[in-house]
Structure 1
Amino acid sequence: MKKIKYVALLAIVFTILFVTKANAQTWNIGFPDTTKVKAILTGNKLVIEGKGAMKNYPRHKIWKDSVTSVYIKKGVTNIGHHAFYDCRELKTITIPDGVTSIGESAFKNCENLAAVIIPNSVTVIKRNAFERCTSLKAVSIPDNILEIEEYAFYECFSLENVLLGNGLNQIGDCAFRACHNLSSITIPKSTSTIGEIAFRECYNMQNFEVEKGNIKYSSVDGVLFNKKQDTLVAYPNGKEGKYKIPESAVVIGNSAFASSKINAVRIPKTIKTIEGDAFRYCHNLSKLKVPNSVEEIGILPFANCDSLERIKLGSGITEIGMYILSQNENLLKIKIAHKNLKFSSKKGILYNKSRDTLVMYPRGKKGSFMIPENVICIKKGAFEDCQGLTEIVIPENVTTIEAIAFQYDRNLKTVTNRSTTPQKISSEVFSYVNLKNISLFVPSDVVDKYRNTDVWKEFGQIKAIE
């Protein structure tokens, strides 16, 4: 009887093994010799075995929807590009010592991957490698890793703890961008390059530390500077309240304050350059004063500051692009220092010095506006995205209306154009505006001219000024 039971048990085990083996799927995934490395999928478990490199995969793979665990055996030397891209059910990964690189987008969108141990043999984490691993809470970067490429941990929303190894030389652009729960980071002494907006949208970030001996970077009260402390690199996004920039600073770097919770900042007279996106998305800033020392301002430095109502620009500014104050829906007043040689302001509106060119109209102003009689030019984007603007009167002297001057002004109901000669304008002047819903009023003797002139003829109604 015991013998029969034993034989039956063996038969069951054999059947299980046979069925398991029969149900397993195998792929040759080595490079350059595909047979050197194999992937074996049994149920929800994927095993990578062999000797040498994995090949780089396209973004969609046979196993992406089913695998919950991956076990890479010793002998495999790299994880290929897109290897486990979109494996949304993947929960565990075992990476052996001997793997030297983690490929581009290797674990991108693995939203259930909660932990990963990176072996010391890895020297590079490629771009987007762990992007949107939204359950990943901690990561330790071994000392042998020299580079974390751009977007490597982008939008790892749950990431709370990051330990950077002592050999790390480069942190790529946006490497830890939008890691919302990351509250502090220590930059190793070996790090010589931190890419643009590497830590932007880290909304809980309170503190940047820099190891003693780093020759490129330093930290002052938790704020990241270059070594000389003449460039402010990054202000912690999670810090609230006021901040006084130290007088050693000459440059406010790209996106330095972008997305931060700061509600007031004092810019010293030592600052000469404010780079692009410097204060973008600073939703709590209500006013800002740019000192006379500032000579250069990048693209979109004060854009999307929802609470910004007033800004004063200094006398040193010689160029003002249309995007400097873009999408500030509550901005009511733009002032500029009287001694500025190129620009002036009146009633909160920005003009050139002689006031014959309207440069920028505050996006927060509502209702109707009559452009002054002496204006001959409306600059590019001057009224762009003025959602509260309902009526505009263009004086007779205006001969030039540049591209996207009234772009996105979707609530505009009436345009009065007093010019007796319809200005030649491109379709971009009123782009994303339904002209059929707008009434155009023009001098009585030129109604027909407007009805036969490109762009102007597209208005819903063209009538004589009464």
Structure 2
Amino acid sequence: MKDILTIEDGVLTACSEGAVDVVIPEGVTEIGESAFSELDKLNSVVIPDSVIQIAPFAFEESKSLKTVVIGKDVTDIGDSAFNCCDSLESIEIPAGVERIWENTFRGCYSLKSVVISETVKEIGCGAFQACTSLKSVVIPRCVKKIGLGAFHSCESLESVEISNGIELIFGAFISCKSLKNVKFSGTVEAWRKIEKSDDWCKDSPVTFVQCSDGIVNI
């Protein structure tokens, strides 16, 4: 495996174009910028617990990548890290990650399952934009901000669960053509106190938010 990977001082900086199934060795602490980008044959990657950071654009446009196992000690996944990984089917954000950066999983058209850890505080602009196979998402209690277009054009997204504690929703669910079910774990009063842009669910069919003690019409 080391023959197809370039590793310098613990940083994985490049991977050979012919790589298919990659197990990154223990001891690597960072996956460098664009290290796995545009690898047409790449099918799966296992990231060890020694890795702390996945740099921006690390896997961008590796369009055959279906499976990624992220080690439990990763704390930073950079912007556009998995942008346009067309075949990626599921992802689990490990505990320790506090922010999902801009465009991190944008255009992952096959993404059906997302598990966001309880440590995440912010979901950045366009983070899951155009993930057209995603049907449901649970926003955990530590998330304070959902950025502009975070789930824009997730056309199969049917249900969203938002935990009490959210402070800002800014154009997050625009053009979610199947979105009809939004649940909020807090009260009607708490929902009304959240700062929301007028277009937070523009061009989506949802008509009300189900709160713990009633509904709020949109």
TM > 0.5 fold call: yes
- Select which of 141, 146, 159 maps to 2:116: 141
2:64 corresponds to 1:89: yes
Q: Is the 8 A contact 1:40 1:48 kept in 2?
A: no
1:163 Cα offset (Å): 1.5
Question: Could you say which residue in structure 1 is the equivalent of 2:94?
Answer: 119
Query: How many pairs align?
Result: 203
1:64 Cα offset (Å): 1.8
Query: What amino acid sits opposite 1:258 in the alignment?
Result: K
2:47 corresponds to 1:47: no
1:210 Cα offset (Å): 1.6
Query: What amino acid sits opposite 2:20 in the alignment?
Result: N
Question: Could you say which residue in structure 2 is the equivalent of 1:27?
Answer: 6
Query: How far apart, CA to CA, are the structure 2 residues paired with 1:155 and 1:79?
Result: 22
Q: Is the 8 A contact 2:178 2:205 kept in 1?
A: no
Q: Is the 8 A contact 2:4 2:19 kept in 1?
A: no
Question: Could you say which residue in structure 2 is the equivalent of 1:201?
Answer: 175
Query: How far apart, CA to CA, are the structure 2 residues paired with 1:164 and 1:260?
Result: 18
Q: Is the 8 A contact 1:190 1:214 kept in 2?
A: no
Query: What amino acid sits opposite 1:212 in the alignment?
Result: G
Question: Tell me, which stretches of 5 or more residues in structure 2 are unaligned?
Answer: 207-218
- Select which of 24, 42, 59 maps to 1:67: 42
Scaled by the length of structure 1, the TM-score of the pair is 0.40
Question: Tell me, which stretches of 5 or more residues in structure 1 are unaligned?
Answer: 1-19, 29-33, 219-225, 234-252, 263-466
Query: How far apart, CA to CA, are the structure 1 residues paired with 2:42 and 2:145?
Result: 32
- Select which of 119, 139, 152 maps to 1:164: 139
Larger Rg computed on CA atoms: 1
Counterpart secondary structure, 2:9: helix
Question: Could you say which residue in structure 2 is the equivalent of 1:408?
Answer: none
Counterpart secondary structure, 2:24: strand
Query: What amino acid sits opposite 1:120 in the alignment?
Result: A
Counterpart secondary structure, 1:204: coil
Scaled by the length of structure 2, the TM-score of the pair is 0.82
1:185 Cα offset (Å): 1.1
1:447-466 matches, within 5 Å, as none
1:258 Cα offset (Å): 3.0
Q: Is the 8 A contact 2:179 2:204 kept in 1?
A: no
1:261 Cα offset (Å): 5.1
- Deviations along 1:64-112, whole A, 9 cap, x unmatched? 2221111111110011100000000001001011001211111111111
Query: How far apart, CA to CA, are the structure 1 residues paired with 2:29 and 2:11?
Result: 7
2:22 corresponds to 1:78: no
- Across the aligned residues of Structure 1 and Structure 2, the Cα RMSD in angstroms comes to 2.6
Query: How far apart, CA to CA, are the structure 2 residues paired with 1:154 and 1:44?
Result: 27
Query: How far apart, CA to CA, are the structure 1 residues paired with 2:4 and 2:46?
Result: 15
Question: Could you say which residue in structure 2 is the equivalent of 1:211?
Answer: 185
Query: How far apart, CA to CA, are the structure 2 residues paired with 1:214 and 1:109?
Result: 37
